[in-house]
Amino acid sequence: MTVHVKSAILLFVAVGLGVMLGALGAATILNHRVDQLEALRKPGSFAPFIESIIEPTDEAQRAQLRVLLEEAEQQQQALRRSIHDQHRAIRDSLRVQLGQILTPEQLQRLDTWHRMQGPGSERPPGAQGQGPPPGAPGFRPPGGRPGPGAGRPGGRPGGPPPLPADSLR
């Protein structure tokens, strides 16, 4: 093996490691940021977070800030509940309408998928709440291979719709 080949291999390995480490670092930072944002949604966490940013000058200012921040947090929580209730009403209405056109098997798949999505769902241990329900195109059992339809347009919920057959010419 010549020096040029060895140098090229070493360069490719170094670049590859750099890319992998960069991707890992970016994912770690992103996950940390998502965790921080999720923590802000917990009751009682907004006011201390904003206080830490503002750094009140004394206890009097801290007390004034706390009153305003706690009131804003209560308003935000009420807004979240209202939006959640509106989403539920839309989903329930859609479910009734879909019940008139879908087969019982299709409704069962939809209901299974829906139960696996939200907080307090009936997810199996370790499930992430993402992806299609068992038996649906693109379903991947834990540690298993993807089911039929995986990797194809429209093969997973949320993906692009399947292309019409005549558009493939």
Q: Contact at 8 Å (CB) between 140 and 126?
A: no
The residue ranges of every structural domain in the chain are 29-106
HEC-encoded secondary structure of 49-110: HHHHHHCCCCHHHHHHHHHHHHHHHHHHHHHHHHHHHHHHHHHHHHHHHHHCCCCHHHHHHH
Residue ranges of the chain with per-residue pLDDT less than 70: 118-169
Residue 8: helix, strand or coil by DSSP? Answer: helix
State the average pLDDT for the chain: 77
pLDDT attached to residue 159? 47
pLDDT attached to residue 46? 83
pLDDT attached to residue 152? 43
The pTM of this model reads 0.45
Alpha-carbon distance of 53 to 116, in angstroms, equals 37
- In angstroms, the first-to-last Cα distance of the chain is 48
